[in-house]
Structure formats: C-alpha cells, structure tokens
Amino acid sequence: MKFKISWPTGIILSLLAFIIFILSFVFKATFIPEYDHHLVSDDYYKDEMNYQQEIDKLNKAAVLKEDITITKVAEGLLIKFPAEFDAEKITGTISFQRPSNDKIDFNLPIKLITSDYLISKENLVEGRWNVKIEWTNKGTTYLFKEKLMY
C-alpha cells in the first residue's frame, strides 16, 4: 500500500509541525522552573537612579594607594583591605551575587580586627560570582567591584 500526500496537505502538515515546535519552546520558557528567567535586580529603575553615586564611590576607591585584593585560599576567600585604613574603623557590606541563580546571593557585614576578612568556603558555590564591597572609613564611602570564578 502506497501512502500519497497531496502538496496542500503537505504544506498544512509542515506548518502544524512548525507551530507545535515553536509552542513547545514557549511552554518550556514560561512554565518549567529550570528555564527561569529574571532580571539582575528587581529594583532596576531605583538602582539606575543611584548609579552616579556608585561611580563616585568607585572613583574614590581607584585613587587609593592600595586596592582591595581577593584571594582564593584553602579555607575560602580572603579579602584584604588597604593597609592605609584603620581596620577597626571600617564598616560596610560585602555582597556576593550569582548571575545564574539569585537564590544563593548573600550579603555580609564588615567588622574587622585586622585588614583581612575571610569568607568560609561553606558559603560559596563553585562558579562565577559578582563581588561588591562597599565600605566607609572616616565618613568617606568607597566601592570595589570584581567578577570572579570560585
């Protein structure tokens, strides 16, 4: 038995197959959690309004004699603040943002005795992190940003 399809039927079947193919991608992107899509920040417009202040803080940190260094050590990440500051008077926050998964983002307060700050490896998952360190010393606020692979 030979099965014969006329050309109008073939065109209709091709279009239906293509439509089903496209709708399957729409369904995956919308309803399946592993294809979750989100913005980097929920408060995008509010963050944009404060961007000039962020640039000013970055510029203040850029003119320092010594920059913050982040080093991977066996215990986790070692953050070394510039020696020109009195470590006990530094206050601020360290923010870790994971671009691929915002559920594991975290912030840590800065309380120092020495100029070194250790973040234990239990807090970190391997992969790319955006690190943002904002600290204040003697009324001046500084900002340091770095993208790193842990």
Say what the pLDDT of residue 41 is. Answer: 65
CATH of 44-149, one of 3.40.190.10, 3.40.640.10, 1.10.520.10, 2.60.40.10: 2.60.40.10
Q: Average pLDDT per run of 10 along the chain, which is 150 residues long?
A: 85 96 91 70 74 89 90 91 87 90 87 89 88 92 91
Using alpha carbons, select from 99, 81, 85, 91 the residue that is nearest to residue 40. Answer: 99
Evaluate the CA torsion angle 76, 80, 81, 86 in order and state its sign: positive
Residue 136, SS3 per DSSP: strand
**What's the whole-model pTM score?**
0.69
Say what the pLDDT of residue 36 is. Answer: 65
